[in-house]
Structure 1
Amino acid sequence: MKNIQKPTIIHPKTLLIGIIAPYNTTKNIESYYEEFISLVESNGIEYDNTYFTRLREIDSAYFVTKGKLEELIKICQEEDIEEVIFSESLNGQQERNLSKALNCKVFDRTQLILEIFEKGAHSAEGKLQVELAMLQHKKTRVAGRGIHMSQQSGRIGVRGPGETAKEKELQHIDRRISKLRSELSDLEKHRQTQRQSRLESKIPLICLVGYTNAGKSTILNTLTKSNVLAENKLFATLDTTTRELYIDHEKKGLISDTVGFIQQIPHKLIEAFKSTLTELQYAHLLLLVVDVSDLNWESEIAVVLEVLKEIEIEKPILYVFNKIDKIENKEIFQFSVRNYQPHILISATSKEGIQPLIDFLRNWYPANY
């Protein structure tokens, strides 16, 4: 009997380019680079090399400056690089110019995060929202190309031809976008019906918000004895999950887990997920979960607050500083969070560790209820 060998899957030789741009206010640079690599790994991408750098200015045509571009051209030539993934979002022109200069496929932060969302969406609405965002992103890339688009088509790590006529492709995208918006509108009407029923019954709603991988799903599981997927990876949760919340056998209301936020989150995603995120408008309390083991926790709070502002959410907030068991000097940490009020310190992985949150919710009641 012959041994059947499995075919070897050869991935395109890939270079990761991590950039600290002038707009990036991250205090811990290494942590930002690690987050970028985590995004790549969350998308299941194998890479061969990394290049990290800081930019003092952004070039309108290539994003990177002339000197950095020359360095990248040399690396790509010497190492036969086939694909390059940037940690930042590029506009269509920059992506095309870089692809031509580096002689390889170029993908940006937006494409990377969109693909992660695509793989993680499980509900019908989540899948529609991600597809809408991906098509809107694709349209910006197709619009600036010539009649044939074989040079820069497809997804990260996927080889393929793709010689599709530009006008025909754009028409197809527009038709699909229109259909998706219609389907999402129908789902939103259904959501409004459910929401109206809940509002009439005056059931309080608590929503978990926060940076991706802060521990929101773990908190939901511990509080409600659920088994929502809680993985130590970016964007493990994409679909909103709602559970009944009981404290001391008394129903306090409903608690929802929401998609996590991230630095420079693509605006196309915020727009696509707006119907889901508008659920926050009906919340009586937001639990803003913070991973205190992350050195950039203050920057991450700022990111979350900025997104909430962008989608016009103004609700009472309880800052939930999670993973406190990983902090050595709790007294110093208590001092560093003094400006975030009200707040509690917890460790969501155990009933004892989450007790401060349970105590808070026991005595909490919505205003005007």
Structure 2
Amino acid sequence: MFDRYKAGELALLVHITFSDDDKKEDLEELKLLVSSAGVKSVGVVTGPRKSPHPRYFVGTGKAQEIADSVRTLGANVVIFNHALSPAQQRNLEALCECLVLDRTALILDIFAQRARTYEGKLQIELAQLKHMSTRLIRGWTHLERQKGGIGMRGPGETQLESDRRLLSERITAIKGRLAKVSKQRDQGRRARVRSEVVTVSLVGYTNAGKSTLFNTMTGADVYAADKLFATLDPTLRQINVHDVGNCILADTVGFVRHLPHDLVAAFKATLQETREATLLLHIIDCSDENYRGNIDAVQRVLNDIDAGDVPQLTIMNKIDAFDDLKPRVDVDDEGKPTRVWLSAKTGEGCDLLLNALSSLLSGPIRALQLSIPPEQGKLRAQLHQLNCIVEESYAENGDCLLDIRINNVDLSRLRKRFPDTMDACLTGNK
């Protein structure tokens, strides 16, 4: 419904410093966002303010400076590193005589470029429509005209009202389609819950290295690049963890400070994988000077999607950027892993991560002996599939003698699947 500006345009960036921490943004992050959108920055206008100006967001003098810079540098789009009201955006466009975008619109544009799946495209369009619905009046001069003619005389419906009605109908239609996609995703999720498959979800600030780690651990070929929001569509792969068995690893969209509320709401179906995960791997770029602020931003989004209480394991990624950092695992007073230092790019420390996952997910390990008769080959095959057999031999009567190490979760699953056979085959407990 909406044409985004073409990649390759020249942008003037505006970054205002506020004393209020809640309004602070990172200029370097804005430059990364602009680069990720495929737009070339030709200049930056900065300045301090105590609070936003109601007319131009910036002061009158600073607004004129922005307009003069647009003409001097030949910029055809102005991008603010802040959220603008519709009135502020309209006033700035009239003054600068060019397109003005805020941080929210820029993030939405990047998402629109990166979405690949049907669900992802629907989610982005929904967020765009909600954002645009408050800005319909911008650039239109005919919206006050009313329909006329035979059968249409009287107050009628203005063009603006007509556009808002069409917009509302489109939003309703998209929500209906997303509901269907969500049901399909729920079916797959319920199947995993019934089979008690452990799910580990990667979360973290955008560009922290989640997709690179995902590819390293699974051997997948998910798109990974040094760009913000390189991943939008969730990807699930199976990994094998010692003493746990097969687990589902989920790669999800990265978070960012002040992520647009409509975008969080639109992606709630996708982020369901995060909310219902057994464990979250919080990936942190330890080479980023602002990594502590990034941690807080991710935690706020996790709280917004009701995933703040899901157990987490912190992953300090990109240790290859330092000469004195080596792969290691930090543990708490009880000996449980709390933080893993690694490099997803080089693979250093990924073995330590798998060991930490085994420690956190397996629970108590039981050593058992089984004597399985020949007619119970399915049970033996299942034990081989779980990779829990330590030693295997055969008795004179043909029974298969097994020494196994198995966690309580897998043992419970086997007892459900083989209710009588499993206990009958137990010969001892080491």
TM-score range for the pair, normalised by the shorter chain length: 0.7 to 0.9
Identity, % of aligned pairs? 36
Q: Which has the higher contact order (CA 8 A, sep 6+)?
A: 1
Using the alignment, how far apart are the partners of 1:148 and 1:37 within structure 2?
37
What code does the residue aligned with 1:224 have?
T
Q: CA contact under 8 A between 2:250 and 2:273: conserved in structure 1? A: no
* CA apart distance, 1:52: 2.7
* CA apart distance, 1:366: 6.4
Aligned to 2:369: none
Unpaired segments ≥5 residues, structure 1: 1-8, 150-163
Aligned to 2:13: 16
Using the alignment, how far apart are the partners of 1:187 and 1:303 within structure 2?
28
What code does the residue aligned with 1:20 have?
T
1:244-265 Cα offsets, whole Å, 9 max, x none, are 0113596341010000001121
Aligned to 1:153: none
Equivalences for residues 153-164 of structure 1 within 5 A: none
What code does the residue aligned with 2:351 have?
Q
Using the alignment, how far apart are the partners of 2:362 and 2:131 within structure 1?
40
Q: CA contact under 8 A between 1:237 and 1:260: conserved in structure 2? A: yes
Using the alignment, how far apart are the partners of 2:14 and 2:208 within structure 1?
25
Equivalences for residues 24-63 of structure 1 within 5 A: 24=21, 32-63=26-57
Tell me which of 183, 187, 190 is aligned to 1:196.
190
Mark the structure with the bigger radius of gyration: 2
Closer, same or farther: CA 11–234 of 1 in aligned 2, 3 Å: closer
Q: Which 4+ residue blocks in structure 1 deviate beyond 6 angstroms?
A: none
| Corresponding residue SS for 1:259 | coil
1:194-224 Cα offsets, whole Å, 9 max, x none, are 1111110000100000000101111111111
Using the alignment, how far apart are the partners of 2:7 and 2:125 within structure 1?
27
Tell me which of 356, 361, 365 is aligned to 2:352.
356
Are 2:264 and 1:267 aligned?
A: no
Q: CA contact under 8 A between 1:147 and 1:165: conserved in structure 2? A: no
Unpaired segments ≥5 residues, structure 2: 1-5, 144-157, 364-407, 410-430
Which is strand-richer, 1 or 2?
A: 2
What code does the residue aligned with 1:297 have?
Y
| Corresponding residue SS for 2:270 | helix
What code does the residue aligned with 1:181 have?
K
1:111-142 Cα offsets, whole Å, 9 max, x none, are 11111101111111000000100111111111
TM-score by length of 2: 0.72
Tell me which of 138, 155, 171 is aligned to 1:177.
171
Using the alignment, how far apart are the partners of 2:345 and 2:73 within structure 1?
44
Kindly tell me the number of residue pairs found equivalent between the two proteins: 339
Equivalences for residues 79-158 of structure 1 within 5 A: 79-143=73-137, 147-148=141-142
What code does the residue aligned with 1:101 have?
L
Tell me which of 322, 329, 349 is aligned to 1:327.
322
Aligned to 2:201: 207
Tell me which of 185, 205, 230 is aligned to 1:236.
230
